[in-house]
A and B are shown apart, each in its own frame.
Chain A
């Protein structure tokens, strides 16, 4: 009894201490909530983590298509106890009906998270029990001569799974090729992207894109500008903000989380007057060596203008295509697109970083000019034409060729440098009333 009391007291003290630190959150994010989750990452009360094993809270954010979300129940069960699920700005989840519903902005979410977390740390709220049934996926117990499911040297399903098979390799060795499904919810890849990768060692020998998660189409300033002429200033600030947010993501993936947080913070309330601060950030990014020494050393990852001729990816490869050139307001501003040459990973980094500065410059000079509104817009990822899927949707088709032969870390760098959007990673459902 006395021992039990000591433990209870200890748990209370630990709980009180733990409350003053950030809540580790693993986020499963739909396309329309990606920016909201990024803003959540700016809050000190919360830390977005890369694996469910480090998280206390599973956050399911944004609107998905009907039916279960791929991998969600599995991830829920991979969170250590005490765990809690929060559903943010979306419908009740079919697989986790007990998830706490929160509607509203980041401030409201953080308040609710803090309250729930305090309760669960104090033991007032029970941790969620596992969702999936406690049964083996494959029958293996008691099977085979040793009762572990295996047979012979490499056969059978020891402990429930088979061993990988051999495959020939470019250097003549025939060693194991391990098929792995990575994603759809892993910090190392963009949200929703599921890749079926064949790994031999740390090298990728084959890539297939897995089934896509259904999400609701995000609506941003560029989509609205398809129908309504929109101030150039607003569009260009949005474009700069988009690229800064992309930069924040890729910086975190390359181990520069502090610089990533700075980029997010700048993007959060960006205005044309922030140009000097943005240039300081970009200079810090260049000095970090990430472009010259890291992504610049990747062999491969080149996207030619023939594959994607539009947007920063196309321009990084030397395509001069830019819908802004045809717009009168931009012509008045003497807009000339930044054009790269090589079309490799480093070129895409340089392209977007140059375009951030250019956009802020345009925004500062734009005055009251408006642009677009006639069914076609130069978005941050390239040309958007109303009622057509954007060009970025075709990026996924080239992914297998781009990634095959790369080391895993290089492949992750290349994937992130493409700035894949929901049209590439997911099945996009348009709001009812609109056609595809």
Chain B
């Protein structure tokens, strides 16, 4: 059993890295977005292997929507969205190589030298339940604040992009009729 799990871990790990790399190798915006999703799905698989089934699956669930939005907005705003003419997805080579290599070294050092707990998850532990209790108990304030933050995000997004407002076209100023000033 543990042999299979090891195998799956390496398979998921390798696919996460390879698909992540493919994000930058493709010319198509849609492919890039969904390669990224594939990478997240592989990470979700690793989370499941770590017995965090809910977190792993919810990652896969969420990324379907999020990456579709990413694909759609990239298609909407990028020139040549399908990559019919070859182009490069990587820019600022020197800076990205340095930061990439730096991040890799730091993470590798952490992986090699950090003192990880070797405790397996106790049998009978229910991570989903613990998560729920935490949300409603200790982290209640954080959770409700997240609600307010999400509301702010929504209103901000709508205010920025909505073209036809309540009081007519946004470009016309969207003034409430009672506030209409005299003259043109």
Whether the pair B87, A153 counts as a contact (CB closer than 8 A) is yes
B115 within 8 A of A: no
* B163 CB contact (under 8 Å) in A154, A155, A156, A171: A171
B77, B85, B163: residue with the most chain A Cβ atoms closer than 10 Å: B85
When chains A and B are docked, how far (Å) is the Cα of A171 from the Cα of B76? 14
B79 within 8 A of A: yes
When chains A and B are docked, how far (Å) is the Cα of A171 from the Cα of B171? 9
Closest A residue, CB atoms, query B171: A172
* A150 CB contact (under 8 Å) in B79, B84, B163, B171: B84
Whether the pair B85, A154 counts as a contact (CB closer than 8 A) is yes
Closest CB in chain A relative to B113 CB, distance in Å: 46
A62 within 8 A of B: no
* B80 CB contact (under 8 Å) in A146, A154, A170, A175: A154
* B85 CB contact (under 8 Å) in A155, A171, A172, A175: A155
The tally of CB-CB contacts under 8 A between chains A and B is 31
Interface 1/0s, chain B 34-76, versus A by CB < 8 A? 0000000000000000000000000000000000000000001
A163 within 8 A of B: yes
Interface 1/0s, chain A 62-83, versus B by CB < 8 A? 0000000000000000000000
Whether the pair B76, A153 counts as a contact (CB closer than 8 A) is no
Closest CB in chain A relative to B51 CB, distance in Å: 44
Closest B residue, CB atoms, query A175: B76
Whether the pair A146, B86 counts as a contact (CB closer than 8 A) is yes
Interface 1/0s, chain A 142-185, versus B by CB < 8 A? 00001010111111101100010000001110010000000000
Closest A residue, CB atoms, query B83: A158
**Interface set of A (CB-CB < 8 Å, partner B):** 146, 148, 150-156, 158-159, 163, 170-172, 175
**Interface set of B (CB-CB < 8 Å, partner A):** 76-77, 79-80, 84-87, 163, 171
10 residue pairs A–B, Cβ–Cβ below 8 Å: A148-B86, A150-B84, A150-B85, A150-B86, A153-B80, A156-B85, A158-B84, A159-B84, A163-B80, A163-B85
